[in-house]
Chains A and B, each alone.
Chain A
Amino acid sequence: MPLTVRDASASEEELGLVTAVRAGNEQAFTTVVERHYAAMLALASAYVLAPGTATTIVHDAWDAALAASDGFDGRTPLRAWLLRFVVRAAEPLAARPDGVAPESSPPAVDRGRFRGADGAFPGHWRAYPRDWRTLPDDVLRGADVRRIVAETLNALPPEQRVVITLRDVVGCPSHEACEVLELSEATTRERLHHARSRVRAALERHFDA
């Protein structure tokens, strides 16, 4: 299982691991790879989608990280430090570099589902959304749900896909995602909101069908 780092700096254990890696300890290197490879590949895939290119980005990132490993000072957790190398390797190859696209996202929920300004209770649901907690577990957790989530992520604008991948697929806390992407909390949260809202809407269409 990948380690979930909640602190804003590296642990003593991580500093020890990197010192061992620098000394040529293969076991230490394998440990770091096993903990963080999946997160690095997920982030690279969010930038470029094509699996072969994403794998190349991750390998380039490892090469760059090893070359720079004497600069690891523990001020950031090891995962965030490694993910920065993925961002640097991936950004030049991304279909649409971060920050270039105009940000205009549709409302989280279609306006037609709320009462209009002219009647009673403006802005309130015309009909309530469904309580997903009443859905059978195999529907909530089925292969169809995985497929729909993956397809919706692939269809997102890249700058949103990168954020939701770090936060919800990899499980980075907010401050770590901001640091890795060099974005403000407000921008990160806005992109996360649009991305999560799109995934929710896709799942709702599936569950209500």
Chain B
Amino acid sequence: MPESPDHVTCQEVVELVTAYLERSMAADETTLFEQHLNFCEGCVWYVEQMRGTVEATRRIAEDDIPADARERLLMAFRDWTAP
């Protein structure tokens, strides 16, 4: 929660940003957060950096299955189905 009831600081923004992106902040807290973004370009860029971080992390995903793993699993499945 922000220390002041009527505004958030940049230092608070960097700790609240995940709750903001997750849409898990209370409505009044979201309002304060967005009011801050309206006048603070630095924090707009910070929020964009966090979005960029999420995108960059998504790109390390490996979607391929090694051929030997596929083969091993199929063997295990055949064993499992064998009477």
> A interface vs B, CB < 8 Å?
1-2, 24, 26, 29-30, 33-34, 37-38, 41-42, 55, 58-59, 62-63, 66-67, 107-109, 111, 114, 122-125, 128-133, 140-141, 145-146, 149-150, 153, 164, 168-171, 174, 185, 189, 192-193, 196-197, 199-200, 203-204
Could you list 9 examples of A-B contacts with CB < 8 Å?
A26-B74, A37-B65, A37-B70, A38-B63, A122-B9, A129-B42, A145-B56, A193-B18, A196-B50
Flag B48-73 by CB within 8 Å of A: 1 or 0 each: 11101110111111111100011011
User: Majority SS of interface residues in chain B?
Assistant: helix
Known: A107-B15, A132-B49, A192-B18. A199 touches B57 (CB 8 A): yes
Residue of chain B at shortest CB distance from A146? B60
CA distance A184 to B23 in the complex (A): 16
What chain A residues lie within 8 Å of B56 (beta carbons)?
140-141, 145-146, 149, 199, 203
* CB under 8 Å from chain A, chain B span 27-51: 40-43, 45-46, 48-50
Q: Which of B15, B40, B78 contacts A108 (CB 8 A)?
A: B15
Q: Establish whether residues B45 and A140, one from each chain, have CB atoms under 8 Å apart when the complex forms.
A: no
> B interface vs A, CB < 8 Å?
9-12, 14-15, 17-19, 22, 24, 40-43, 45-46, 48-50, 52-54, 56-65, 69-70, 72-74, 76-78, 80-81
Residue of chain A at shortest CB distance from B2? A123
Q: Which of A55, A58, A169 contacts B57 (CB 8 A)?
A: A169
Q: Which of A66, A107, A122, A189 contacts B76 (CB 8 A)?
A: A66
Q: Establish whether residues A140 and B52, one from each chain, have CB atoms under 8 Å apart when the complex forms.
A: yes
What are the 3 closest A-B residue pairs judged by CB atoms, nearest first?
A123-B9, A128-B42, A193-B18
CA distance A2 to B65 in the complex (A): 11
Q: Establish whether residues B45 and A203, one from each chain, have CB atoms under 8 Å apart when the complex forms.
A: no
Chain B nearest CB from A118 CB (Å) reads 14
Q: Establish whether residues A200 and B49, one from each chain, have CB atoms under 8 Å apart when the complex forms.
A: yes
Q: Which of B10, B15, B43 has the most CB of A within 10 A?
A: B10
Q: Establish whether residues B76 and A41, one from each chain, have CB atoms under 8 Å apart when the complex forms.
A: no
